[in-house]
Structure 1
Amino acid sequence: MLNVLIVDDEIHFVEAVKRMVDWAGLDVANVYTAYSSSSAEQIFQAHDIHVLLCDIEMPQRTGLELLEWIRQKELRTVPILMTCHADFRFAQEAVRLGCSDYLLKPLSKEELETAIRKAALIANREQERMEAQRNKLWWSHQQDMNQERFWTDLLSETIPANRGDFLREAAARQISLCGDAEVLPILLVVRHWHRDFRVRDRKLLEYALKNAGKELIGKLSPGNVFVPVGSEAWLLIMPVATDRRIGESGLAMMCRRWVEFCRTNLYCELTCYGGQAIPGFEVSSMLHRLLKLDRNNVNGVGYVSLEAENRSVDASAALPDMSGWAALLRQGVKERLLEEAAAFIGSLRQRLDIDSRYLLAFKENFLQMTHAVLQQQGVQAHLMFCDEGSLRLSEAASRSLADLERWLAHVVAKAAGYAQASSVGDVVEKATRFILSNLDQNLSREAAASHVYLHPDYLTRLFKKELGCTIPEFIMRERMKLARQLLAHSELPVSAVSMASGYANFSHFAKLFKQQTGLTPVDFRQSERRGGANGKVEIASG
């Protein structure tokens, strides 16, 4: 069933057309009317219009201008133009804008219905074409999902990795595979993002990454399938035609172009690991070989072939002596320490005989050295390095030299300020500044100790030595100072003074205040105001 829109600035003409035509006989469900181009646009935005009957000459905007708007919006509408003037220029423009008919007023019933029937036929064909296109896209999407599920089940060994089960399952799922067909697996891994993206934005970039791969690799072999094999890792499975083998040089060139495109346009470091042509049922074993290449690609090479499996690894490669680095860390000379560490990592980039196990051993030694230096200063390392950012960098540190260098810079930046021997007074000053800046918060000795990465008991001993009081005693003393100041010099209600001093429970605040001053908060305020200039208020420091 079709929708028709009649547009003419003559209301009587529009009504006459509505009465004249046998709309049901033309398979028309709805007839909409408008008396100007702007009104017609509003109807287009609210309904699907299949056939348009439109006058050319109308005030403000002509029917030709309305057709131009329809064309710009790419609407699937078949237009019929009506006019009182047999002007060749109008007819020529109508043809350019895709009109199916150009009618001269006055119109007969037969002439009008013939034009509408012709336009309806065109509209129906367009609907059928669009429906076929939607069905094709849906089927293509279903086929892609079907193939992805098939290969995922093979990789997870839900489908046994032998030729018979492989072919039987492929036939059952309508996967087109020849008995002796081979595939070429390529492992793709995003090793690093140059920016922090929201999850939704990252998914869009991953979609663009796969589309770019289909464009580039599709030139070598159509019918590729992307199968997720981990976080930000996919296995690209390429069918290999017997009469069109893919050369290693061609594959390497396409993969390097892909890597460069991702670095330049998608803000990520992509690495490709090229396998070799194998029977489809052997994909799982090939994936394990490619994943091993990824674990040992510590130099972050953009394209790695299976030939790298034959590279020898020096299991006895010496780790650096870090005693000098420990001394630099104690002295707080972080720039020099980072320079020396970066120089050592730079020397590793020239070597091809180290793998991820070497980086892991280096990382553990460096972390042990850092913890030992921090321990000498009474700093608790877990308070410093257990935040989400630190853990994420630590997890990635043994993947590549670049990741290791980022982790080193992070560790040194956080540790240098606390590894250097500081006076007791400096540590206590940092803690008291934190307390004075957060008197209205839920303070505790644990929170103050965490701020300076020390154990609460140890910081309490430092407070007693420097200030002659414990941390809770210092907090209460400063809160009472602040409360006296606010009561004497502000118009805040007593309940607001209680909150500003860090006491959510007013009764508890009033009780403590009376214990400290001998007066209730209200009596203290009245006493201060009666005392006038003679009253002295102790101001909270900081």
Structure 2
Amino acid sequence: MYRLLIVDDEKHVIEGIKFDLDLVSNEISELYTANNMRQAIEIFAEHPIDIMLCDIEMPQGSGLELLTWVRENHPETETIFLTAHADFKYAKQAIQLGSLEYLIKPALVDELEAALSKARIKISEQNKLHHVNQLWSQNHPLLVERFWMDLLDQTIPSHKTVIQEAAEQRNLVYTETMTFLPVLISVQRWHKPLSIREEKIMEYALKNTAQEMIVQQATNGQMISIDRGKILVILYFDTYKDDTLDQLARSAEDYIASCVQYFYCDLCCYIGTNGYMHEVLSIVQGLIALDNNNVAFNNKVFSLKGKTVSPVQIKLPNMAVWSAMLKKGTKEKIISEATEYLEHLVRTDGLDANLLRQLYEDFLQMTYFVLNLKGIQAHQLFCDELSLQLSRNATRSVTDLIAWMRHTVEKAKDQAEAVEEAISVIDSVKKYIAVHLSQSELSRDELAEHVYLHPDYLSRFFKKETGISITDYLLQERVNLAKGLLSKSDMPIGNVALSVGFSNFSHFSKMFKKATNMNPNDYRQQNGVQSEKKSGKR
């Protein structure tokens, strides 16, 4: 619905228009009238006006003067002139001032309604355009981010012409001389456990700080989250100076120091080289490679400029020596040697992600070999959440690898010592059996898993230490418990069978008789509650 203002010094003209005009069919929700320019301005001050229907010659200011004022103060209002003057000079001025229509009195109702319809259509189109502009203004950063993401994942090929066309299609205007400098911010670790939501909040804080401390070095910049804990900053430069990289490196150092202090994390910044839009992808790929190969340093700024990779032959440590140390339980010596070896590689710049992975794999193989010799199931020993987490992070950095090595060696040594203490292992198995006697499917494999030993190794070990097999011991314990339940309670024999791990009553009777030379019912008759009562009576 639209708001209409009629301005004319002749009151009968206003009344005639009001009488002839069907407000509903012309979508007029509010109708205002004024007899001169001063009154019209007062109405504008109090009400928004969509369409103004105005005479030209009026006292206290002409309609052309009023339109000039409206254009300056309320440019969204559409104006239709309704005048007795057919002078071309007036019509020309009206058109120059932006009048939508110029009607001659007395105008037919159809002419007036056609002019009003034309005004409504124009206002509607302007409103749609305004809405689109609002959306563009709000979503422009998202459109730019989507553009860069498409470029980086190669949905948009890195070809100069193709990129320019893609930018134009999205109304993203870049000059040919504009250059870009990517900076990769990579979080290495958080110093305290964070949920996914908390991590996202912290990354948002990292972005805001980067906006203040890094983006300000350029004409403008775009930040993109390209992976968990990885933020890509693309800086735009109208003019690139020789000292730009040095200034940027200093800003990145200050940024890292602030993040370490306030956001509880270790992170590195990787500064790229300056290039045109079609060169950005290769520069970013270089930064990601730098990050992947940085396994030695924390909280440092790296520059892609002048960075070359020279192949270096590195001799891996002798795992046979470390294996012998682990067998003897000298865990501190292993950790000391591993730390010294890694620190040497860091000092000589000989450590990369590939070498760290090789060292991890060799150490893992060595550990599993030693544990296997001792009959320990390594995959069961290290299936807890802490072990798995440390293993997942082990190849990220030297710090993470040493933490994993220390955990692995300590846990392996502790379990090996437990195995060597026969009494503790046998006691652990016996206690587990006592707690789980009612479990009908209690197996040798389950018992072996409980003490991290191979089932065959546990069977031999158990019989050697106790003189009885696990199977016979398990049956013995079940029968002993059944004896107690039969003699000390009036529990139905079927329930007794279930309580000691027999789901089949017939099988329970058979095994019970095999062990006691009598069936469960006879045993209860001789030793149970009823026999004691009879004995008391006598």
TM-score, normalised with respect to structure 2: 0.65
Deviations 1:252-291 (A, max 9, x none): 2222233233333333222211101111222211122112
After TM superposition, give the deviation of residue 354 of structure 1 in Å: 2.3
Taking the TM superposition and a 5 Å limit, the aligned residue runs for 1:398-437 are 398-419=395-416, 422=420, 426-437=424-435
Is 1:379 paired with 2:380?
A: no
Deviations 1:406-429 (A, max 9, x none): 111121122112445726555434
Write the letter of the residue equivalent to 1:459: L
Q: In the alignment, is the contact (CA less than 8 A) between 1:312 and 1:353 conserved in 2?
A: no
Taking the TM superposition and a 5 Å limit, the aligned residue runs for 1:56-455 are 142-221=139-218, 223-242=220-239, 247-301=244-298, 302-307=300-305, 309-310=307-308, 312=310, 315-419=312-416, 422=420, 426-440=424-438, 443-455=442-454
* SS at 1:269 equivalent: strand
Write the letter of the residue equivalent to 2:150: D
* Structure 2 CA distance for aligned equivalents of residues 170 and 158 of structure 1: 13
Q: In the alignment, is the contact (CA less than 8 A) between 1:494 and 1:522 conserved in 2?
A: no
* Structure 2 CA distance for aligned equivalents of residues 183 and 329 of structure 1: 53
* Structure 2 CA distance for aligned equivalents of residues 375 and 322 of structure 1: 16
* Structure 2 CA distance for aligned equivalents of residues 202 and 391 of structure 1: 20
Write the letter of the residue equivalent to 1:528: G
* SS at 1:349 equivalent: helix
Deviations 1:280-330 (A, max 9, x none): 2222111221122112212124221114723645x2222223444323211
* Structure 2 CA distance for aligned equivalents of residues 522 and 334 of structure 1: 59
Compared CA separation, residues 213 and 511, structure 1 to 2 (3 A): farther
* SS at 2:177 equivalent: coil
After TM superposition, give the deviation of residue 140 of structure 1 in Å: 5.5
* SS at 1:304 equivalent: strand
Write the letter of the residue equivalent to 2:432: F
* Structure 2 CA distance for aligned equivalents of residues 257 and 491 of structure 1: 79
Equivalent position of 2:89 in the other structure:
none
* SS at 2:528 equivalent: helix
Compared CA separation, residues 485 and 233, structure 1 to 2 (3 A): farther
Q: In the alignment, is the contact (CA less than 8 A) between 2:273 and 2:305 conserved in 1?
A: no
Equivalent position of 1:529 in the other structure:
529
Deviations 1:307-365 (A, max 9, x none): 4723645x222222344432321122323433333333333332313222222222222
Structure 2 unaligned segments of length 5 or more: list them.
Answer: 1-29, 31-130
Compared CA separation, residues 285 and 388, structure 1 to 2 (3 A): farther
Q: In the alignment, is the contact (CA less than 8 A) between 1:240 and 1:246 conserved in 2?
A: no
* Structure 1 CA distance for aligned equivalents of residues 247 and 356 of structure 2: 32
Compared CA separation, residues 232 and 511, structure 1 to 2 (3 A): farther
Q: In the alignment, is the contact (CA less than 8 A) between 2:360 and 2:401 conserved in 1?
A: yes
Compared CA separation, residues 520 and 191, structure 1 to 2 (3 A): same
Q: In the alignment, is the contact (CA less than 8 A) between 2:335 and 2:402 conserved in 1?
A: no
Write the letter of the residue equivalent to 2:456: D
Q: In the alignment, is the contact (CA less than 8 A) between 2:182 and 2:273 conserved in 1?
A: yes
Equivalent position of 1:97 in the other structure:
none
Is 1:466 paired with 2:465?
A: yes
Q: In the alignment, is the contact (CA less than 8 A) between 1:187 and 1:273 conserved in 2?
A: yes
Write the letter of the residue equivalent to 1:341: A
Compared CA separation, residues 343 and 519, structure 1 to 2 (3 A): same
* Structure 2 CA distance for aligned equivalents of residues 223 and 491 of structure 1: 86
Indicate the larger mover: 162-171 or 202-211: 202-211
Deviations 1:135-184 (A, max 9, x none): 99975652232222211111111111011111110111122322222111
* Structure 2 CA distance for aligned equivalents of residues 232 and 224 of structure 1: 19
Percentage identity across paired residues of the two chains: 34
Number of aligned residues: 404
Compared CA separation, residues 464 and 150, structure 1 to 2 (3 A): same
* Structure 2 CA distance for aligned equivalents of residues 141 and 413 of structure 1: 56
Write the letter of the residue equivalent to 2:446: A
Deviations 1:348-401 (A, max 9, x none): 332313222222222222223222222221223232345554344334323321
Taking the TM superposition and a 5 Å limit, the aligned residue runs for 1:25-40 are none
Q: In the alignment, is the contact (CA less than 8 A) between 2:184 and 2:271 conserved in 1?
A: yes
* Structure 2 CA distance for aligned equivalents of residues 269 and 534 of structure 1: 80
* SS at 1:174 equivalent: coil
TM-score, normalised with respect to structure 1: 0.64
Compared CA separation, residues 396 and 521, structure 1 to 2 (3 A): farther
Deviations 1:212-259 (A, max 9, x none): 222222322364323333343232212122267772222222222332
CA RMSD, 1 decimal = 3.8
* Structure 2 CA distance for aligned equivalents of residues 238 and 190 of structure 1: 20
Write the letter of the residue equivalent to 1:372: F
Q: In the alignment, is the contact (CA less than 8 A) between 1:220 and 1:246 conserved in 2?
A: no
After TM superposition, give the deviation of residue 210 of structure 1 in Å: 1.9
